[in-house]
Every structure is written in structure tokens, then in C-alpha cells.
């Protein structure tokens, strides 16, 4: 179970959104992908998922080159992002069943029941997705991203626009889920507090390049800083 | 593959059944067209303003057949636009679905939509307005299928353009087909067109199809060569349109705009 990225670049006209990035994630854990707006976090995730074609470089997932085994690899990957939505006129349950079928999940009703219990969305199952609040949508989105029990889960700003209670709930849920399922979770976030709380390792992007990578505590000790926010500000300046 | 296809089609059926306006858009236009032109034909016939029942049969058959083409195109484009409107395409494209499966699901959904809308309309036209539509016999199925393929080809081109260049191009879904209308010889024979337009008309399948239909209704003669040409042209244009649609998806992946669709 691994994600290997070698010399990955994405160029739009004269601008490198991702510039010669190499990354190797082979152990289960929660990985934080940090960076300012426009640092290249979403672009990197988009390329891992095949939504964006790289200009250069190779992405290998589970030892297979993504461009060659796209469909097989995507069965074991999933993603949740505020940039994408689910059909608003379908109920939550209809959406979850739809995506379960798309990923070829067996006994998906049990899976949906189990996940919706854990994410506390049982009472939302018969409601139209479009009628939910931002926090409810996020929980449903995370449920959708777990229907296929992904080996690698990509989350883009999973707690953006959530109240503190829901954010804490989501963070705790993800930590528990990761431990139990030995998943690789890659989280793109601006929330330094959140990243410090749940991430085993962090990867900091700046102007499309990885500028720092490691265990948050060790990085902070080496840099003699108190928290990731200070580090983030230092790097972005 | 079949589970994914089933999921795609089933989701669309749920969406349509749960929405009055969507249901109406499927049934409303074909029936309104038939009723409107049916009454008009009856009026002409009852007042001896039409020279034969055949000329009215031409008219109603042409209207129905043109609507088949239009419905097939709209059915495909609208089904695809649903993904864009709901900002769901990105989620869809990160599932194991292949582009060929998306294409197949659009084609099947469009076929269901078109059939649902037109079958009742055809029966109304045939029995209430005494249109001898079924006198086209086996060739009726051939004409319908060919026109449906023309509709799908246009649908894929329009969907690809909207995907690539944004939702401002949605207007094309309604307008694009009418560029083809004058060259399709729906309401008049090919000879009614100026020479240069005749050449252009013969490059596209509809002119061959409508000419074929007119011959059968007029004197029962089947222009096999015309039907074969329309069939081969259809295969060519359909493959071209699918190729273009796939290219547009790839182009969106290159441009990185699959995240922003629908906004």
C-alpha cells in the first residue's frame, strides 16, 4: 500500500502549479498537506486522482502506474472536497447507494448503515442532499468517501466552514477510522491547529514545491518554534 | 461495468421521477407538437386545402421524425448537463468508471427518454389524427434509429463543447440542431434547395433519411442506396462525435478545470 510520486510537474502556460514534486508515502497514517492559497495542494490531489493530467512525472499507486491502471486503482481511492458536490435532488441514501455501486461495494446497505451510524447521519438519510447544512454535507461527503473502504483517502479542507463541535467530531472520527483501517489519509488544510492534532507527518508546499516534510513535533523542535502556525507564517513570508 | 451502468441509469431515473418539471419536459413537447400539427392537418383536410392525405402524412411524419432527432440530442445533452449542474462530474470521474461507460450510460438514458416521450405521441398521431405512420413498416425502425444516432452525435458534440468551454455554450443544446434543419430536407424535398445547399445536405444523414421516408409514403419505393448512405454517414459522424467528446474530457483534465465545473 503506497503512493509514490516522482518528479511531478503541472504547468499552466508559464506558471508551474506543481514544480518537480517527489513524494513517497508507504506507511498508513494521517498526512497533512499544507500551503498557502495557490501553493498547489488541490492540483497535487487532482493529479493523484486523475482529474488533472500532469505535465511531467510519474504517479505510482499500490506499485502500479496510475495512467496504466486508472480504473483498478480508483477502486481503492476516494476523495472529499468542498469544491465538488453530490446531486442535490437525490436523498443522502440514494447518493450513497449510487456511489457504492460505482465502486462495486458488496453488501453496500450494511456498509452505509454502519458508516452513517458512526458519522451520526442516520436521521439525514432520507433528506435531499441539497437541503443539508454545510456541516451535514461535510459528514455526508466523508461518508461517501468511505463507502469503498479506501486504502488511500484524500480530503481537501474537510473541516472548512464547520463549527468547532463538528470539527472536533470529524477529527476524532478520522483518527479512529485511520487506526482501525490502517488507511493512508492525506489531508489538505489551512487549519494548523487541526493538522497539529491529527497528522503524523506534514508536507508543506510553497509555489508548487515541497519545502518541508516531516513529523510536526520534530520540525517545530528543530526550527525552535511553538506551533505550526508560526512555521507556516515563517515559510510563507 | 454493468453495476456502474445500472447505477448511472437508475440515478437518472430517480432524478426524473422525483421531479415534475423534468417529467414534463420528456412528455410535454412531443405531444404538444403532434396535437398542434395534427389539428392543423385536420383543418387542411376537412376544408379541402390539402391536395392529398399523403401530403399531410408527409408533414406529420416529418414532424415526428425530426422530433425524434431533437429529443435524442436533448436527452443526451441534458443528462450530461445534470452532472455539471450538480457539480458532481469530478466525483464521478474519480470513481472507477471509464469514459466508454459514461458514453454508454448517456446513450441508454437518452434512448429511454426519447422513447418515453415519443411513443405516446406516435400513437396519438397514428390513431387520433389518422397518420399512416406505420405504413413505413420495417423502415420506420431504421429511420428512427438513424435519427436517434444523429441526435446522439450532436449531443456529444454539444456536451463536449459545454464541458470544455463552459456553461455559456449550453445555449447550443437548443440552437445547434437548427443549423442542420435547413439542410435536412425535413419539410421539403432535396430538389427544393439551391444546388450548393443540396451538396451540403447530402453530406449529412438526415437529408437521406427524409428523402427515403418521402419516397416510401409517396409510392412505396425504398431507396436502399440512400438508406445505406445515411447509415454509413451516421457511423462516421457518431464515431467522430464520441472521439471529440473524449478529447474534450482529456482537454479538461489537461486544463485542470474539472474542479470548477458548474460554478
Which pLDDT band holds residue A237 (cuts at 50, 70, 90)?
low
What's the ipTM? 0.85
Closest CA in chain A for residue B263: A83
Is the Cβ pair B86, A85 closer than 8 Å? yes
pLDDT at position B155: 92
Q: Which residues of B touch A144 (CB under 8 A)?
A: 91
Q: Average pLDDT in the A111-134 region? A: 90
Is the Cβ pair A78, B7 closer than 8 Å? no
Q: Is residue B263 part of a domain?
A: no
Which of A215-224, B112-121, B165-174 is predicted with the least confidence, judged by mean pLDDT? Answer: B165-174
Is the Cβ pair A85, B87 closer than 8 Å? yes
Q: What is the pTM of this model?
A: 0.85
Is the Cβ pair B262, A86 closer than 8 Å? no
Q: Which residues of A touch B7 (CB under 8 A)?
A: 97-98, 101-102
Q: Which residues, in sequence order, are bridge partners of residue A4?
A: A24, A60
Q: Is residue B260 part of a domain?
A: no
Which of A75-84, A228-237, B116-125, B137-146 is predicted with the least confidence, judged by mean pLDDT? Answer: A228-237
Q: How far apart are CA A11 and CA A40, in angstroms?
A: 11
Backbone angles phi, psi at A37, to 5 degrees: -60, 135
Which pLDDT band holds residue B263 (cuts at 50, 70, 90)?
very low
Which pLDDT band holds residue B131 (cuts at 50, 70, 90)?
low
Is the Cβ pair A71, B253 closer than 8 Å? no
Is the Cβ pair A12, B256 closer than 8 Å? yes
Predicted confidence (pLDDT) at residue B173 exceeds the cutoff of 90: no
Predicted confidence (pLDDT) at residue A54 exceeds the cutoff of 90: yes
Predicted confidence (pLDDT) at residue A185 exceeds the cutoff of 90: yes
Q: Is residue B138 part of a domain?
A: yes
Q: Average pLDDT in the B142-171 region? A: 87
> What is each CA distance from B175 to B74, B95, B181, in whole angstroms?
11, 33, 10
Residue pair A155/A144 in contact (Cβ under 8 Å)? The answer is no
pLDDT at position A217: 83
Residue A21's closest CA among A173, A205, A144, A185?
A: A205
Express as a percent the part of chain B with pLDDT over 90.
25
Q: What distance in Å separates residue B154's CA from the closest CA in chain A?
A: 25
Which residues, including other chains, have CB under 8 Å from residue A174's CB and lie 6 or more apart?
A: A30, A142, A155, A158, A185, A187, A198
Is the Cβ pair B15, A89 closer than 8 Å? yes
Which pLDDT band holds residue B70 (cuts at 50, 70, 90)?
confident
pLDDT digits (tens, 9 = 90+) for A63-102: 888 888 888 899 999 999 877 888 888 999 999 999 999 9
Fold category of A3-76+151-236 in CATH:
Rossmann fold (3.40.50)
Q: Is residue B197 part of a domain?
A: yes
Q: Is the dihedral of CA B120, B123, B128, B131 positive or negative?
A: positive
Q: How far apart are CA A221 and CA A231, in angstroms?
A: 11
pLDDT at position B52: 62
Chain B interface, best mutation among A15, A52, A55, A95, by max B CB count within 10 A = A52
Which pLDDT band holds residue A52 (cuts at 50, 70, 90)?
very high
Backbone angles phi, psi at A66, to 5 degrees: -55, -45
Buried b (16+ CB within 10 A) or exposed e, B78-98: bbbbbbbbbbbbbbbbbbbbe
Q: What distance in Å separates residue A220's CA from the closest CA in chain B?
A: 34
Q: How far apart are CA B141 and CA B134, in angstroms?
A: 10
| Domain boundaries, position B51 | 2-255
Q: Average pLDDT in the B193-205 region? A: 91
The domains of chain A are located at 3-76+151-236, 84-149
Backbone angles phi, psi at B78, to 5 degrees: -65, -40
Closest CB to A102 among B7, B82, B86 = B7
Q: How far apart are CA A54 and CA A58, in angstroms?
A: 8
Q: Average pLDDT in the A163-170 region? A: 84
Residue B85's closest CA among B11, B163, B23?
A: B163
Residue-averaged pLDDT of chain A: 88
Q: How far is CA B231 from the centre of its chain?
A: 15
Q: Is residue B194 part of a domain?
A: yes
Q: Does A71 touch chain B if contact means CB atoms closer than 8 Å?
A: yes
Q: Is residue B225 part of a domain?
A: yes
Q: Average pLDDT in the B18-40 region? A: 79
Q: Average pLDDT in the A198-225 region? A: 85
Q: Is residue B172 part of a domain?
A: yes
Is the Cβ pair B253, A53 closer than 8 Å? yes
Pairing between strand A184-189 and A152-156? Answer: parallel
DSSP A141-183: HHHHHHTT--SEEEEESTTTT--HHHHHHHHHHHHHHHHHHT-
Closest CA in chain A for residue B13: A90
Report the number of distinct structural domains present in chain B: 1
Closest CB to B258 among A51, A74, A101 = A51
Residue A84's closest CA among B98, B2, B88?
A: B88
Burial of residue B189 (CB within 10 Å: 0-12, 13-18, 19+) is middle
Is the Cβ pair B92, A50 closer than 8 Å? no
Q: Average pLDDT in the B239-246 region? A: 95
Say what angle helices B53-85 and B205-219 make with each other, to 10 degrees.
150
pLDDT at position A144: 94
Amino acid at each position: 500500500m503506497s503512493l509514490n510520486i516522482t518528479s511531478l510537474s503541472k504547468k499552466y502556460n508559464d506558471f508551474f502549479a506543481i514544480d518537480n514534486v517527489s513524494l513517497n508515502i508507504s506507511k498508513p497514517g494521517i498526512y497533512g498537506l499544507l500551503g498557502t492559497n495557490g501553493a498547489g495542494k488541490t492540483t497535487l490531489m487532482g493529479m493523484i486522482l486523475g482529474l488533472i493530467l500532469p505535465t511531467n512525472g510519474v504517479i505510482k499507486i499500490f506499485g502500479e502506474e496510475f495512467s496504466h491502471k486508472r480504473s483498478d486503482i480508483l477502486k481503492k481511492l476516494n476523495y472529499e472536497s468542498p469544491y465538488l458536490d453530490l446531486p442535490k435532488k437525490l436523498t443522502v441514501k440514494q447518493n450513497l447507494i449510487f456511489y457504492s455501486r460505482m465502486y462495486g461495494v458488496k453488501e453496500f446497505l450494511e456498509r452505509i448503515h454502519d458508516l452513517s451510524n458512526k458519522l451520526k447521519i442516520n436521521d439525514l438519510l432520507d433528506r435531499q442532499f441539497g437541503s443539508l447544512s454545510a456541516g451535514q454535507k461535510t459528514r455526508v461527503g466523508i461518508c461517501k468517501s468511505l463507502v469503498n473502504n479506501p486504502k488511500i483517502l484524500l480530503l481537501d479542507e474537510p473541516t472548512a466552514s464547520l463549527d468547532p463541535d463538528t470539527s472536533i467530531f470529524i477529527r476524532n472520527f478520522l483518527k479512529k477510522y485511520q487506526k482501525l483501517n490502517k488507511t493512508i489519509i492525506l489531508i489538505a488544510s489551512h487549519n494548523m491547529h487541526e493538522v497539529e492534532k491529527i497528522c503524523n507527518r506534514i508536507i508543506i508546499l510553497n509555489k508548487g514545491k515541497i519545502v518541508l516534510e516531516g513529523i510536526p513535533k520534530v520540525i517545530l523542535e528543530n526550527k525552535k518554534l511553538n506551533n505550526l502556525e508560526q512555521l507556516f507564517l515563517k515559510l510563507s513570508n | 461495468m454493468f453495476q456502474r451502468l445500472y447505477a448511472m441509469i437508475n440515478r437518472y431515473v430517480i432524478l426524473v421521477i422525483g421531479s415534475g418539471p423534468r417529467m414534463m419536459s420528456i412528455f410535454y413537447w412531443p405531444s404538444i407538437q403532434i396535437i398542434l400539427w395534427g389539428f392543423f392537418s385536420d383543418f387542411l383536410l376537412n376544408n379541402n386545402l390539402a391536395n392529398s392525405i399523403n401530403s399531410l402524412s408527409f408533414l406529420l411524419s416529418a414532424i415526428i421524425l425530426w422530433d425524434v432527432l431533437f429529443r435524442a440530442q436533448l436527452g443526451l445533452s441534458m443528462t450530461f448537463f445534470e452532472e455539471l449542474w450538480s457539480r458532481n462530474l469530478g466525483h464521478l470521474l474519480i470513481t472507477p468508471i471509464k469514459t466508454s461507460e459514461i458514453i454508454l450510460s448517456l446513450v441508454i438514458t437518452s434512448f429511454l427518454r426519447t422513447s418515453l416521450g415519443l411513443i405516446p405521441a406516435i400513437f396519438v398521431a397514428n390513431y387520433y389524427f389518422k397518420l399512416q405512420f406505420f405504413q413505413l413498416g420495417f423502415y420506420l425502425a431504421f429511420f428512427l434509429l438513424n435519427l436517434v444516432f444523429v441526435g446522439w452525435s450532436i449531443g456529444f458534440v454539444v456536451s463536449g463543447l459545454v464541458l470544455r468551454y463552459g456553461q455559456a455554450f449550453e445555449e447550443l443544446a437548443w440552437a445547434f440542431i437548427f443549423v442542420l434543419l435547413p439542410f435536412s430536407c425535413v419539410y421539403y424535398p432535396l430538389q427544393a434547395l439551391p444546388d450548393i445547399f443540396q451538396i451540403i445536405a447530402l453530406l449529412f444523414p438526415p437529408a437521406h433519411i427524409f428523402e427515403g421516408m418521402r419516397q416510401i409514403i409517396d409510392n412505396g419505393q425504398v431507396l436502399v442506396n440512400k438508406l445505406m448512405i445515411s447509415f454509413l454517414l451516421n457511423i462516421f459522424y457518431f464515431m467522430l462525435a464520441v472521439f471529440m467528446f473524449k478529447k474534450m474530457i482529456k482537454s479538461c483534465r489537461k486544463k485542470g478545470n474539472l474542479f470548477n465545473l458548474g460554478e
